[in-house]
Amino acid sequence: MNDLVQWDLQEVQEVITSLKHKPGALFPILHGIQNLAGYIPAESLPLIADALHQTRAEIHGVVTFYHLFRMTPPGRHSLEVCRAEACQARGSRALEAHVKAKLGIDYHQTTTDREFSLEDVYCLGNCACGPSIRIGDDIIGRVTPEKFDQLVDELTTVALEIRS
């Protein structure tokens, strides 16, 4: 179970039951479950399949096709790197490579310590100050590799202090 967001299979079933009669019910159900749990737990796939009279493979195919759905628990911090044109012109490609190397993950993955989930995004509305990233609700501009390392280290240190 995800220790960041508490949920149980009974709640997942309630989401499915409340939405299964809607037209095009699969997407509302997947959004509902992801809102509840923070991701689509593998255990929910057979429940969805039963409710919609589809196969688990069909449900799995949809979940994995759309990047907005995730099948692993999210990290404590959601981190997005802008890949749109203006940020690319200001060095986001090099920043992306650095971010992935620093965190040891690719897009749509979560670090092993569950601190960070990494996603790509196309424009954060901060184009003049690229390269831009968003951590949680905070948009940060002019991000250099050094600045990124500092941000990550600060957030990780805060998390360690809270736990100890």
Q: Where does this chain bind ligand FES (CB under 6 A)?
A: 82, 84, 86-87, 123-127, 130, 132
Q: How far is the CB of 97 from ligand FES (least distance, A)?
A: 16
SS3 94: helix
Do 101 and 148 form a contact (C-beta atoms < 8 A)?
A: no
Do 57 and 83 form a contact (C-beta atoms < 8 A)?
A: no
Q: How far is the CB of 8 from ligand FES (least distance, A)?
A: 39
Q: How far is the CB of 117 from ligand FES (least distance, A)?
A: 19
Asked if residue 82 belongs to a known ligand binding site, the reply is: yes
Please provide residue 76's backbone torsions phi and psi, each rounded to the nearest 5 degrees.
-65, -35
**115 or 120, CB closer to ligand FES?**
120
Asked if residue 123 belongs to a known ligand binding site, the reply is: yes
How much helix, strand and coil, in percent to the nearest 5, is found in the chain? Answer: 50, 10, 40
Which helix (DSSP H) or strand (DSSP E) does residue 80 occupy? strand 77-82
Q: How far is the CB of 135 from ligand FES (least distance, A)?
A: 14
Provide the residue type at 22 as one letter.
K
**47 or 124, CB closer to ligand FES?**
124
Residue ranges for the binding site for [2Fe-2S] cluster?
82, 87, 123, 127
Residue ranges for the binding site?
82, 87, 123, 127
